[in-house]
């Protein structure tokens, strides 16, 4: 029994984290692919939501990337040639199933997130104000708790 590809939700329905960071594998940043191909791989990886395959229509990719069908085809060929993804026809007309390769592991992503975490600055020590005069003796404290002191 083969596993069904994950159907991509419309891009507007995909929730993104509140931070401004994308986890990009260094090998993808250094790859000999056009910048649009790297963006396409990141989009497919995000739409797959952790699944190895995602089913996306060509029109959906055009809307998400703002690229033409010819440009997307060029990006897909570049990514496939460099070993970043494989593709095959989907079950529904006009859809393509993309198998996302060379995904970082969960441990790698956690390590990268720790590297991005900014160190918490130490809190400055605030001097404590102590009133002048002799310290209160035990008699005063005992009288206070017994209700004998004002």
Angle at 106 between CA 14 and CA 48, to 5 degrees: 30
Identify which of 14, 98, 85, 28 has the alpha carbon closest to the alpha carbon of residue 58: 98
**C-alpha to C-alpha distance for 54 and 98, rounded to whole angstroms:** 5
Each of the 150 residues of the chain gets a pLDDT tens digit; together they read 556 665 665 544 444 444 455 667 778 888 888 888 888 888 888 888 778 888 888 888 888 888 898 999 999 999 999 999 998 888 878 888 999 888 777 677 677 667 666 666 777 777 776 666 666 555 555 666 666 655
**C-alpha to C-alpha distance for 142 and 150, rounded to whole angstroms:** 12
Helices (H) and strands (E) in the chain, counts: 6, 4
Helix extents (H) in the chain = 26-29, 35-48, 58-65, 69-81, 106-116, 138-145
**C-alpha to C-alpha distance for 8 and 13, rounded to whole angstroms:** 10
Structure tokens at 104: 């970082």
Whole-prediction pTM = 0.61
């Amino acid at each position: 029994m083969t596993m069904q590809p994950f159907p991509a939700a419309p891009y507007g329905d995909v929730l993104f984290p509140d931070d401004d960071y994308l986890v990009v594998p260094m090998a993808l940043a250094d790859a000999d692919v056009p910048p649009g191909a790297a963006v396409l791989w990141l989009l497919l990886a995000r739409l797959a939501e952790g699944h190895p395959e995602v089913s996306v229509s060509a029109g959906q990719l055009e809307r998400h990337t703002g690229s033409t069908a010819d440009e997307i085809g060029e990006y897909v060929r570049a990514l496939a040639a460099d070993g970043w993804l494989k593709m095959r026809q989907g079950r529904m007309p006009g859809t393509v199933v993309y198998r996302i390769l060379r995904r970082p592991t969960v441990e790698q992503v956690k390590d990268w997130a720790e590297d991005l975490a900014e160190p918490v600055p130490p809190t400055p020590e605030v001097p404590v104000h102590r009133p002048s005069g002799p310290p209160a003796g035990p008699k005063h404290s005992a009288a206070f708790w017994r209700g004998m002191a004002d």
